[in-house]
Structure formats: C-alpha cells, structure tokens
C-alpha cells in the first residue's frame, strides 16, 4: 500500500499511481483529489487510458479515507466548533497536506519538469466535486509556503483543474443555491450506499437554450432551466455504468467518513470556502505559469451546474485583471461522474487541457 508522509506528526496519505508511461520521457503527471464519500478508486477506470495520452495519474485518498491517517478527535472537534478560525485551520491543513504530498512525490519520483515551450512534463492538480475544497485550500496558501517549496513547485506546476465542483469547493453562497429541489442540492447525504446518494451518479436533461447561454444566462433563467429529476429512461450504457458502480461500491466508497468529518465540512459557512477561492484565484503572483480550467458537466446534478455557473459568471463579468486566467470548459453530455461513465472521453479531455 503506497503511503506518502505529509507532516511531522506521522500523517500519511494513501495513493495509487499508474507509473511512468512507457516511451514518454516528457510525460505529464496529473494528481487527482476525490470528492465526498467516493475515494480515489473512483478514478480507476481512467487508469488504463492514461498511457496512450502520455500521462501519469496519481489518485490520493484524503484523511479519514481508506489507507490514509484518520482525523484526530481534536481535528473533529475543531471542524464542528462554532469558531470560524478553527474551522478554517482544519480546511487549510488539508491544503498544506497536498503541498507536502506534491513536494514529496516530485522528489521521490523525479518527475520531468514543466517545459512551457514544448508543453511537456510538470504536474497538474485536479479537484473533483468536494475535492475542490482541498485544492482551493492548497492554492489559497501558495504565497505562504516556504520559499523552497514555492520555488520547487514553480518548476513543475502547470495547471489547476476544477472538475464539476460541489458548492463547497467554490464557496457558493446559500442564496445562489436557494430553491434547488433535487438530490444534487441535498447536504444530508446518508452514510449508507443507497439509491439516494447514487442519484448523484445519474444524468439530468437540463434546458438546452439555458445550457447554450451558459455562463451569461441569468440566475432566474438558470433556476427554471435546470431539471430537478434525472432522465426517466437512461441510455443502456449509462445503466451499465451505474450497475458496475453498484458492484464496485465497496471498493470506491468509504461511507463511514460521513458520520465523522464529512458531514461537518458540509455545515461550514460558505464564506470560509469563498475566502479560499478568492485567495487561490485572485492573484497569479505565485506560480504565474499555472493555468486554471473550470470543467462543468452539462448533464450533472443541479448543484454542480449552479456552482460552475457561479464562478464562470464571475469570470465573464467582473474578473480582476491581475487574477488567474480561468478557462471555462463545457463537457457535453457528461454527468457528475464522467471519469466513471465515460473514462476514455474524460481522459482525452484532461490530456488536452492539463
């Protein structure tokens, strides 16, 4: 079981690594951060696809997920407290763990550096769904990392990929999510792997005119244009993928995490998450070569459609000149689990933007 040390207290993160792709000396390393309840094994269907694209995939399990160090009782108490500073310290600690992981992995594996002129080498960091809480916490502290860490990662960092983020990942205010009536807006995801939270894995047929107007569409039109129920007659390949997911649930999920920290993360004020997004994206002074890609899946649950709209609309209308450039990428006919339902197509998209 591969484990990476990420602090001086003995904390370790479990990870899976596809290894160096044969015949690709300038390969790109893509580090994958999973969402809530679903662990890093959720990305496993993309692993066989990585070689043909000259990429190395590294899926990391966060704290409390299988193989990685559990949170301490003090950690849980801090996250569940009424003190915003203690809550934020818990969130930002996850970002520092990712910084440590990246530095450790770069040194251990001696991966190729990023060559901007040829577009080869380096590493990209992807947060999927709730995982964007972690990647934003990492990016929010980029300027505060030690000089050695900043300089080392500057040689390697090439892109940040925001894949179909949940509301927490982008610090979406509660007022934006108001009125959503679907599983995708439900914060009380039950701990057992039942049909209720498997509803995040299905497809939604939102209004095409509204999707085509994204992200310029007004929020009022977005509210009326999203579907609040999944498609009634899913395609055979979608049914097949969902059935395989049911068979693999024991491997790709850790339901027990919900009763510990995961539900508490859901209750944190969106302002704290928004602060991290602001710090992460509003200045490009650290790692100025780093590109940001926001991928929104247009057949996903309403929550992620609204979350992507919230950031994409800001980028389009009032993005500061000195902020990081954010490219908005529509992933057509993709649901919240594109890496599971369409691993080949997803791997191709990631290879093109990483």
Contact 288, 158 (CB under 8 A): no
pLDDT at 259: 87
pLDDT at 8: 92
Contact 75, 90 (CB under 8 A): yes
Instruction: Report the number of distinct structural domains present in the chain.
Output: 1
pLDDT at 180: 77
The DSSP secondary-structure symbol of 319 reads -
Place of tokens 């990870």: 15
- For the stretch 103-129, pLDDT in tens is 999 999 999 999 999 999 999 999 999
CATH number of the domain at 219, please.
3.40.50.1820
pLDDT at 199: 73
Place of tokens 């057949």: 299
pLDDT at 6: 97
Please identify every stretch of the chain with a pLDDT value under 50, giving residue numbers as ranges. 182-191, 193
pLDDT at 186: 41
Contact 89, 33 (CB under 8 A): no
Q: Which domain holds residue 344?
A: 3-353
- Token pair belonging to 73: 């009782």
Place of tokens 């006919």: 333
| pTM of the predicted structure, to 2 decimals | 0.96
For the chain, the C-alpha Rg in angstroms (whole number) is 19
pLDDT at 178: 85
Contact 280, 99 (CB under 8 A): no
């Amino acid at each position: 079981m591969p484990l990476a040390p990420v602090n001086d207290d003995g904390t370790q993160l479990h990870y899976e690594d596809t290894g160096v792709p044969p015949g690709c000396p300038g390969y790109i390393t893509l580090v994958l951060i999973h969402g809530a309840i679903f662990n890093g094994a959720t990305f496993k269907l993309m692993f066989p696809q990585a070689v043909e694209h000259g990429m190395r995939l590294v899926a990391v399990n966060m704290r409390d997920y299988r193989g990685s160090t559990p949170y301490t009782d003090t950690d849980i108490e801090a996250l569940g407290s009424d003190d915003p500073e203690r809550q934020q310290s818990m969130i930002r600690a996850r970002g520092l763990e990712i910084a440590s992981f990246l530095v450790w992995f770069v040194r251990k594996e001696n991966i190729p550096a990023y060559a901007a002129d040829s577009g080869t080498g380096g590493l990209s960091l992807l947060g999927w769904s709730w995982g964007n809480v972690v990647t934003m916490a990492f990016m929010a502290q980029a300027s505060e990392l030690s000089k050695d860490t900043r300089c080392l990662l500057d040689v390697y960092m090439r892109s940040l990929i925001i894949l179909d983020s949940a509301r927490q990942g982008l610090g979406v205010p509660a007022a934006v999510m108001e009125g959503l009536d679907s599983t995708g807006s439900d914060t009380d995801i039950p701990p057992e792997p039942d049909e209720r939270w498997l509803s995040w894995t299905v497809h939604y047929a939102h209004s095409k005119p509204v999707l085509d107007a994204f992200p310029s569409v007004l929020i009022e039109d977005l509210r009326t244009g999203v579907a609040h129920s999944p498609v009634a007659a899913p395609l055979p390949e979608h049914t097949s993928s969902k059935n395989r997911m049911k068979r693999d649930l024991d491997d790709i999920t850790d339901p027990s995490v919900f009763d510990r920290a995961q539900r508490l993360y859901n209750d944190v004020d969106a302002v704290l998450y928004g602060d991290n997004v602001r710090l992460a994206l509003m200045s490009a002074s650290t790692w100025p070569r780093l590109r940001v890609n926001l991928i929104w899946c247009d057949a996903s649950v309403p929550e992620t459609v609204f979350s992507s709209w919230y950031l994409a609309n800001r980028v389009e209308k009032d993005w500061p000149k000195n902020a990081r450039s954010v490219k908005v990428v529509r992933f057509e006919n993709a649901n919240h689990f594109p890496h599971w339902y369409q691993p080949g197509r997803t791997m191709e998209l990631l290879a093109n933007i990483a």
